[in-house]
Amino acid sequence: GNSVTQMEGPVTLSEEAFLTINCTYTATGYPSLFWYVQYPGEGLQLLLKATKADDKGSNKGFEATYRKETTSFHLEKGSVQVSDSAVYFCDLGDNFNKFYFGSGTKLNVKP
């Protein structure tokens, strides 16, 4: 079956540090991959997505590349800001419009 595994948090970084949040998946077929972000007190919102192998999703300085050979979709940002403090969810969407979320990784960025 389909599933997503992402690194446990919390991840604590200083401002301007490099961020990587690991996400690996198990899937049948050709899923799409997403990263969602949840800021304190809010619902989830889409951060970026990739719909096929080797696609790179990017938004607000965040990037993730859909790697079929390693079944991964790691989230990266070159220089984090305090405002990036949030919970990040990796997600897989199958061809039947079902979504499989990871457990979430909390990011704390200190000034």
Partner 1 sequence: DSGVTQTPKHLITATGQRVTLRCSPRSGDLSVYWYQQSLDQGLQFLIQYYNGEERAKGNILERFSAQQFPDLHSELNLSSLELGDSALYFCASSVAPQGAGTEAFFGQGTRLTVV
Q: Which residues bind partner 1 (CB under 8 A)?
A: 30-32, 34, 36, 42-46, 49, 51, 87, 89, 91, 93-101, 103-104, 106
The distance of closest approach from Cβ of residue 79 to partner 1 in the complex, given in angstroms and rounded to an integer, is 25
Please say which residue, 8 or 15, places its beta carbon nearer to partner 1: 8
Please say which residue, 19 or 66, places its beta carbon nearer to partner 1: 66
Please say which residue, 69 or 96, places its beta carbon nearer to partner 1: 96
Gap between the Cα atoms of 71 and 87, Å rounded: 22
Closest to 84 in 3D by CA, of 59, 103, 53: 59
> How distant, in Å, are the alpha carbons of 15, 21, 103 from that of 8?
20, 9, 8
